[in-house]
Amino acid sequence: MRLDGVAGGVHPIYDSARRPPRAIEEARGLWAYRNLVAELAIRDIKIRYKRSVLGVFWTMLAPLLNMVALTLVFSALLKTQIQNYPVYYLAGSLFWTFFSQTTSSTASHTQEANEMTKRIFIPRSVFVASAIAVGLVNLALSIVPMLLLLLVMGFPLHATWFFLPVGVVLLSLFSAGVSLILFTVASRFSDVREMYLVLVQTWFFLTPIVYHPAIIPPRLRFALWLNPMYYLIQTARRPIYDGLIPSAALLAAAAGVSVTALAIGWVYFSRHADQYAFES
Amino acid sequence: MTGQEREAGPGLDTLGRRSQRDGVRPTVIRLERVTLRYRVPRERIGSIKEYVIRKIKRLVFFDEIEALADFDLSVRPGETLGVIGRNGAGKSTLFKLIARVLYPSSGRVVVEGRIAPLLELGLGFHGELTGRENVMLQGALLGFSRREMRRRLPGIVAWSELAEFIDSPIRTYSSGMTARLAFAVATDVEPDILLVDEALAVGDERFQLKCRERIDAFRQAGKTVLLVSHDLTQIRENCRRTVWIHKGCLVRDGDSESVTAAYHAWSLTGSEIPPDPQASGSASG
């Protein structure tokens, strides 16, 4: 079927007997409805910032407040060895927040998605894609206070910042993969979101964000290596905090986990896409 | 229902399918022996914890519901087809199959052309957004690009007569105004096929009149319209041909006068559906 003909005025033809493989069909659908991805993202951002006066500032302020609290705890009470702890923490937590926000926000869009796809045809992956888009905007906004912090602290603005987009792209792919799976399960079961919120909180503490990976005893290191978010956080944090470009091995691991997650998520998601209209 | 071909009007379908291969498009909508089965859990299990426990105890049961059974239908371009039947007969299911919201369990659905589903006017409207923003979002829901919608916006605003409110949030609109805007978007996008599911029962008289005019204009432009309604007068006025669906089966397909008359007679008396005088076999529900 030629969905792309829809906007161009070409006669689109739909034949239920000649559907391409689901994963390809879903990908084509997502492309054809890319404007919907943008519109949904714009809507979510507008609504979020229309409702509260603090709006944009809150997105910027929240990570800073967390940072202050954790800096007090870790620097003053626990006497951490990490230099410039606020920078270290922010450079990890911003990316974690992106991951946890986008994944859990897809899970809360399932009801809306069910309502819509029961009534008109839209590829369901638009909801996951728009959540990623919203997350990227929020991430960009929250980088502003980090830059201010760097200036205030006199922390060097490393030339390696240019490498940041690579980390963000890989992180987005991984988040998309996790979101796709989560979205599929949460569309069917309403308690999945709550369970995920608990899980993601635990996952946060298993990932070296408030602490340095070096404090993990060697016999427990395998837990780090099994954690995909470890590679992704390291990849994103290193150019900012250490002023280094991630090693080839680290990059390979980060790319490996994100592409794998996306591939698994995409196939799982599109395989179940047909049955949503029956559910709920 | 038996598997015989149910011809839509004299000789339409034979003609239709033959020239299909010659590259002409005599049918815009074609359903071939379509069956749609739902698997419905006997008890609604909404939580994954409960599901896992029940799965282990083997307590997950499903009922199978056949929403449409062995359904054949061909619609020609420019036809205005009435669809009647009781609630739950399968009318909405038919529309959803045509609109690609549901996929057939078996059989084949072919649709040629752009569809505007007037199934749910105002689906996806958000009260906090302005009329203009909602129009852009609606357009995107129908698969249109941003540029295309910018081009269409003035026409939509003009038709809906909401120019002075277009930049206010639509939570300040009355339900009639919302319906006007939604209808304007859904029909401005120049669909080839219009699916109308009693959507016109909203708004004031003037709006209803405008809707009718617009649908008439569609028909005159050779577009295809499918109309679901319980209002038999409306069906007779708008459609030459009507199909009657009962319990997922097509029981009548013919000119609106006779089909609505048969339906009306059946509604008054009750259970048994008399056999179709036009068909050779019997039509059981």
Any idea which residue has 């897809």 for tokens?
Answer: A106
Task: Nearest chain A residue to B149 by CA: give it.
Answer: A7
Any idea which residue has 């009801």 for tokens?
Answer: A111
Round to whole Å and give the CA distance between A228 and A245. Answer: 19
CA B32 to chain A, closest CA, distance in angstroms equals 10
Mean pLDDT (whole number) for A73-82: 74
Mean pLDDT (whole number) for A125-134: 96
* Full-model pTM: 0.85
Is pLDDT of B175 > 60?
Answer: yes
Q: Which residues of B touch A192 (CB under 8 A)?
A: 48
Tell me the sheet residues that pair with B73: B31
Q: Which residues of B touch A43 (CB under 8 A)?
A: 126, 129, 133, 137
Band (A1; pLDDT cuts 50, 70, 90): very low
Higher pLDDT, A126 or B63: A126
Tell me the sheet residues that pair with B169: B130
Verify whether the Cβ–Cβ distance B48 to A195 is below 8 Å: yes
Task: Nearest chain B residue to A41 by CA: give it.
Answer: B137
Looking at residue B111, its pLDDT comes to: 93
Mean pLDDT (whole number) for B249-255: 92
Spatial strand order in the sheet of B249-255:
B115-118, B193-197, B224-228, B80-84, B241-246, B249-255
User: Per residue in B24-41, pLDDT tens?
Assistant: 457 889 999 999 988 777
Looking at residue B151, its pLDDT comes to: 94
Round to whole Å and give the CA distance between A224 and B11. Answer: 72
Look at phi and psi of residue A215 and say left if phi exceeds 0, alpha if psi is from -120 to 50, else beta. alpha
Verify whether the Cβ–Cβ distance A11 to B112 is below 8 Å: yes
Band (B125; pLDDT cuts 50, 70, 90): confident
Looking at residue B271, its pLDDT comes to: 66
Round to whole Å and give the CA distance between A28 and A21. Answer: 11
Is pLDDT of B21 > 60?
Answer: no
Q: Is A35 on the interface with B (CB under 8 A)?
A: yes
Is pLDDT of B13 > 70?
Answer: no
Mean pLDDT (whole number) for B216-228: 87
Band (A257; pLDDT cuts 50, 70, 90): very high
Percentage, residues of chain A above pLDDT 70: 91
Band (B277; pLDDT cuts 50, 70, 90): low
Can you read off the two tokens belonging to residue A53?
A: 């006066």
Of A14, A43, A191, the CB nearest to B48: A191
Any idea which residue has 């896409």 for tokens?
Answer: A273
To the nearest 10°, the Cα dihedral for B154, B156, B160, B164? -30
- DSSP string covering B130-190: BHHHHHHHHHHHTT--HHHHHHHHHHHHHHHT-GGGTTSBGGGS-HHHHHHHHHHHHHHT-
Can you read off the two tokens belonging to residue A67?
A: 């940072």
Round to whole Å and give the CA distance between A115 and A117. Answer: 6
Higher pLDDT, B204 or A7: B204
With b for 16 or more beta-carbon neighbours within 10 A and e for fewer, the B228-257 pattern comes to bbeebebbbebbebbbbbbbbbbbbbbebe
- DSSP string covering chain B: --S----SSTTHHHHHHHHHTTT----SEEEEEEEEEEEEESS----HHHHHHHHHTT---EEEEEEEEEEEEEE-TT-EEEEE--TTSSHHHHHHHHTTSS--SEEEEEEES-EEEESSTTTT--TTSBHHHHHHHHHHHTT--HHHHHHHHHHHHHHHT-GGGTTSBGGGS-HHHHHHHHHHHHHHT--SEEEEESGGGSS-HHHHHHHHHHHHHHHHTT-EEEEE-S-HHHHHHH-SEEEEEETTEEEEEEEHHHHHHHHHHHHHH-SPPPPPTTSSS----
Verify whether the Cβ–Cβ distance B192 to A195 is below 8 Å: no
Tell me the sheet residues that pair with B180: none
Band (B167; pLDDT cuts 50, 70, 90): very high
Is pLDDT of A55 > 80?
Answer: no
CA A81 to chain B, closest CA, distance in angstroms equals 43
**So what's the ipTM on this one?**
0.82
Q: Which residues of B touch A119 (CB under 8 A)?
A: 101, 117, 119-120, 123
Q: Which residues of A touch B48 (CB under 8 A)?
A: 185, 188-189, 191-192, 195
C-alpha distances out from residue A75 to A88, A162, A205, Å: 12, 29, 18
Percentage, residues of chain A above pLDDT 90: 52
Half-sphere exposure for B119 (CA within 13 Å, toward CB): 24
Is pLDDT of B184 > 70?
Answer: yes
Q: Which residues of A touch B103 (CB under 8 A)?
A: 16, 19, 274
User: Per residue in B64-111, pLDDT tens?
Assistant: 888 899 999 999 988 999 999 988 888 989 999 998 888 999 999 999
Q: What is the 3-state secondary structure (H, E, C) of chain A?
A: CCCCHHHHCCCCEEEHHHCCCHHHHHHHHHHHCHHHHHHHHHHHHHHHHHHCCCHHHHHHHHHHHHHHHHHHHHHHHCCCCCCCHHHHHHHHHHHHHHHHHHHHHHHHCHHHHHHHHCCCCCCCHHHHHHHHHHHHHHHHHHHHHHHHHHHHHCCCCCHHHHHHHHHHHHHHHHHHHHHHHHHHHHHHCCCHHHHHHHHHHHHHHHCCCCCCHHHCCHHHHHHHHCCHHHHHHHHHHHHHHCCCCCCHHHHHHHHHHHHHHHHHHHHHHHHHHHHHHHCC
Verify whether the Cβ–Cβ distance A6 to B109 is below 8 Å: no
Band (B10; pLDDT cuts 50, 70, 90): very low
**Inter-chain CB pairs, A–B, below 8 Å:** 120
Find residues 40-69 of chain A whose CB sits inside 8 Å of chain B.
40, 42-43, 46-47, 50-51
Is pLDDT of A45 > 50?
Answer: yes
Looking at residue B229, its pLDDT comes to: 86
* A156-162 contacts, C-beta under 8 A, 24 or more apart: A156/A243, A158/A239, A158/A240, A158/A242, A158/A243, A159/A243, A160/A238, A160/A239, A160/A240, A160/A243, A160/A244, A160/A245, A161/A239, A161/A240, A162/A239
Find residues 178-217 of chain B whose CB sits inside 8 Å of chain A.
190, 192
